[in-house]
Amino acid sequence: MEKDKSDKKDHILDVAEKVFSDLGYDAASTRTISGEAGVNMAMLNYYFGSKEGLFLAVFERKIEMFRSMLQNLGNDASMNAWDKLDAFIEAFINKVVVNSCFAKLINREMSLNRRDGLMDKIGDILLTNVLEVKKIIDDGKASGQFRQEADTEMAVATIFGTKNYITNTSLVASKMLGNDVNDAAYMENELKPRIKKYLKELLKAYLLK
């Protein structure tokens, strides 16, 4: 039945996404993935051809979710530059931190120097978000709200980099913060508001005149 087949493939992709994210591509064995998914190992090859095919399928299923993160804040004329940046930080931390598992996977594979077509595709999608923030800051400088001397690209790197550091180096970050950043309740109730508040204060101090 087509419905059940799709459900099963989706379930495999769910499990594969988690195992790949936790262990990395090489350490994530097909036996582990099939075992946790409760299916026979041969089903992975039956559905996806190979381990690499499974990996690509996980990626491509997620691409749409990344695309949906775009805000179109840049075209909103009713907000000034700082309000747009404030809104982006709010949405960015809200959306991306909950799926930090997959975000880690993306960042890890992106840090490898294998120039697949897939990596280029993902790079372009990530770049779209980056350029949107860059545009907001550049517009703020053009309108006179932000300091002319402010370094736009570096500020963008700080927004994405600070979040990545907390979610990607969870072992170190957890010890530094005295709490487990992988703990959902702590992340939701304490860390997320704290990151937002900090990033806004930081950029306000640096960007605003």
Q: Which residues here bind DNA, judged by CB under 7 A?
A: 1, 5, 8, 28-32, 39-46, 50-52
Token code pair at residue 76:
């909103």
**165: partner contacted, choices a second copy, DNA, none (Cβ within 5-8 A by kind):** a second copy
Give the residue with the Cβ less far from a second copy, 5 or 193: 193
C-beta neighbour count of 17 within 10 angstroms: 22
202 interacts with a second copy by CB under 8 A = yes
209 interacts with a second copy by CB under 8 A = no
Token code pair at residue 102:
């997959």
Query: x/- site string to a second copy, residues 125 to 164, per CB under 8 A?
Result: -xx--xx--x----------------x-xxxxxx-xxxxx
How many whole angstroms from its chain centre is CA 90?
14
Which three-class secondary structure state does DSSP give residue 171? helix
Residues 71-130 that bind a second copy (CB under 8 A): 104, 107-108, 110-114, 119-120, 123, 126-127, 130
205 interacts with a second copy by CB under 8 A = yes
Give the residue with the Cβ less far from DNA, 36 or 138: 36
Token code pair at residue 162:
């600070």
Separation CA 141–CA 120 (nearest Å): 30
Instruction: Provide DSSP, 84-145.
Output: HHHHHHHHHHHHHHHTHHHHHHHHHHHHS----HHHHHHHHHHHHHHHHHHHHHHHHHHTTS
Enumerate residues 6+ apart whose C-beta is below 8 A from 108. Answer: 24, 168
CB of 78 to a second copy, least distance (A): 27
Residues near a second copy, by CB under 8 A? 21-24, 26-27, 104, 107-108, 110-114, 119-120, 123, 126-127, 130-131, 134, 151, 153-158, 160-166, 168-173, 175-177, 182, 194-195, 197-199, 201-202, 205-206
